[in-house]
């Protein structure tokens, strides 16, 4: 039985995004089993953003996972998204089930799956919902707890976001940090593959997760990532997986439970929250500048001056009022807005000065 809490950190789960054929599954499994990895993952039923993409090999892939078990001794896990998947996976002897990010976002689906495993002795891993809503994640976990599942693990795979980012899914580390605060006993595993979306970010995201005290990592691994049928850009070879794990620096976890819960969040966790909020602020300032530039183009075409004093006074007045409600000083709000406004004017001036081409 998977026992993440009492295993040596990091607890690693590895295997391809999707099971594609028997040879790919078994070869990948054999190679990673040599590195002492205890749990093998592979998606059989793949939820895809648009129809027509590779949607998984379906039930026949379960036989390949059975072979992985018998030939390597690793435990196996796959994603289940409905009761039929659960039934087939359990019948095939899948050791651990995982709930995907799209499913976690849907309480009806989560409840149905939880009902179908009620009272069973099966470990369940629950990915965060694609939208950045901690209550939805907690809710999914609670549905399985209420169904009597005791071996539950959360998987942090990042959140979809509409601001530009180097990540495929924004990590928003403050959310799993908050999950840990609310559910102290729950093991948390990071899925750097779906956060990163590309190989060159995997090491740093994995390291971050270790520094934030996560129990483990789930990393997509494929014998030939470049020709993978799904998530090719983020999968790595078994060799690279080994290198990534060897390069991790595993620091000591903080000693025992503190008598002062208010101090339990580590400095690293608090700094991470600050970085995340700065990230969000700059993402929105970027969006604001893009709109300011569009306004610049409109003003240019309609021959209106850049500075519109009444409009600006109104913005400042609204912001100062809002700031007061939020406990921010007038001085700060005004200085901050002036600085943003100056940058907007500069960017609009650039547009005015640009000569029209064509």
By DSSP bridging, strand 124-127 and strand 96-99 are parallel
Q: Interface with ligand PEP by CB under 6 A: which range of 98-106, 135-143, 274-282, 344-352?
A: 98-106
Task: State the SS3 of 51-101.
Answer: CCCCCCCCCHHHHHHHHHHHHHCCEEEEECCCHHHHHHHHHCCCCEEEECH
Nearer to ligand PEP, 127 or 180 (CB): 127
DSSP 259: S
Q: Select from ligand PEP, Mn ion, none the partner in contact with residue 100, using the beta carbon and a kind-dependent cut-off of 5 to 8 Å.
A: ligand PEP
Contact with ligand PEP (CB under 6 A) among 85, 156, 180, 194: 194
Compute the least distance from the CB of residue 158 to Mn ion, in Å: 12
Give the bridge partners for 239, in sequence order. none
Query: Which pair of structure tokens corresponds to residue 213?
Result: 């005290």
Question: Does residue 157 touch ligand PEP according to CB under 6 A?
Answer: yes
Is position 38 an interface residue for ligand PEP (rule: CB under 6 A)? no
- CA atoms within 13 A of residue 296's CA, in its CB half-sphere: 19
Give the separation between CA 18 and CA 224, rounded to whole angstroms: 12
Stretch of residues binding ligand PEP (CB under 6 A), selected from 97-105, 110-118, 246-254, 319-327: 97-105
Told to check if 125 binds ligand PEP by CB under 6 A, we report no
- Report the site for ligand PEP in 45-74 (rule: CB under 6 A): 47
Q: Residue 283 touches which of Mn ion, ligand PEP, none (CB < 5 to 8 A by kind)?
A: none
Q: How far is the CB of 53 from Mn ion (least distance, A)?
A: 12
Q: Does 17 bind ligand PEP (CB under 6 A)?
A: yes
Find out whether the peptide bond into 10 is cis, omega within 30 degrees of 0. Answer: yes
Task: Evaluate whether 113 touches 104 at the Cβ level (below 8 Å).
Answer: no
**Residue ranges in 208-267 that form contacts with Mn ion under rule CB under 5 A:** 231
E strand intervals along the chain: 11-15, 39-41, 75-79, 96-99, 124-127, 152-156, 188-190, 216-220
CB of 315 to Mn ion, least distance (A): 44
CA 200/CA 234 separation, integer angstroms: 8
Supply the minimum distance, in Å, between the C-beta of residue 113 and Mn ion: 19
Among 12, 17, 105, 333, binds Mn ion (CB under 5 A): 17
Work out what residue 101 binds among ligand PEP, Mn ion, none; the CB cut-off runs from 5 to 8 Å by kind: ligand PEP
């Amino acid at each position: 039985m998977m026992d993440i809490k009492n295993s040596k950190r990091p607890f690693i789960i590895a295997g391809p995004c999707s099971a594609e054929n028997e040879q790919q599954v078994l070869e990948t499994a054999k190679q990673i089993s040599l590195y002492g990895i205890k749990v093998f993952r592979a998606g059989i039923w793949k939820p895809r953003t648009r129809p027509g993409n590779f949607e998984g090999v379906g039930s026949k892939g379960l036989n390949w996972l059975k072979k992985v078990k018998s030939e390597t001794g690793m435990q196996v896990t796959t994603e289940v998204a409905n009761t039929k998947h659960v039934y087939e996976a359990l019948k095939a002897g899948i050791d651990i089930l995982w709930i995907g990010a799209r499913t976690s976002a849907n309480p009806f689906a989560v409840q149905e799956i939880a009902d179908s495993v009620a009272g069973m002795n099966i470990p369940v891993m629950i990915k965060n919902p694609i939208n950045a809503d901690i209550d939805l994640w907690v809710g999914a976990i609670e549905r399985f707890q209420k169904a009597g599942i005791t071996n539950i693990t959360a998987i942090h795979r990042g959140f979809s976001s509409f601001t530009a980012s180097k990540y495929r899914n924004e990590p928003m580390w403050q959310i799993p940090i908050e999950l840990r605060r609310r559910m102290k006993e729950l093991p948390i595993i990071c899925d750097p593959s779906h956060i990163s979306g590309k190989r060159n970010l995997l090491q740093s995201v994995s390291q971050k997760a270790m520094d934030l005290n996560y129990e483990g990592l789930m990393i997509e691994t494929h014998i030939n990532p470049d020709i993978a049928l799904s998530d090719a850009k983020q999968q790595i070879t078994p060799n690279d997986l080994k290198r990534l794990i060897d390069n991790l620096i595993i620091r000591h976890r903080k000693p025992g439970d503190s008598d002062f819960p208010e101090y339990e969040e580590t400095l690293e966790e608090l700094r991470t929250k600050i970085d995340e909020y700065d990230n969000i602020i700059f993402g929105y300032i970027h969006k604001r500048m893009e709109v300011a530039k569009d306004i610049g183009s409109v003003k240019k075409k309609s021959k209106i001056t850049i500075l519109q004093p009444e409009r600006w006074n109104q913005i400042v007045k609204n912001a100062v009022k809002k700031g007061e409600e939020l406990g921010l000083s007038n001085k700060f709000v005004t200085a901050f807005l002036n600085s943003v406004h100056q940058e907007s004017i500069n960017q609009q001036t650039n547009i005015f000065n640009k000569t029209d081409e064509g």
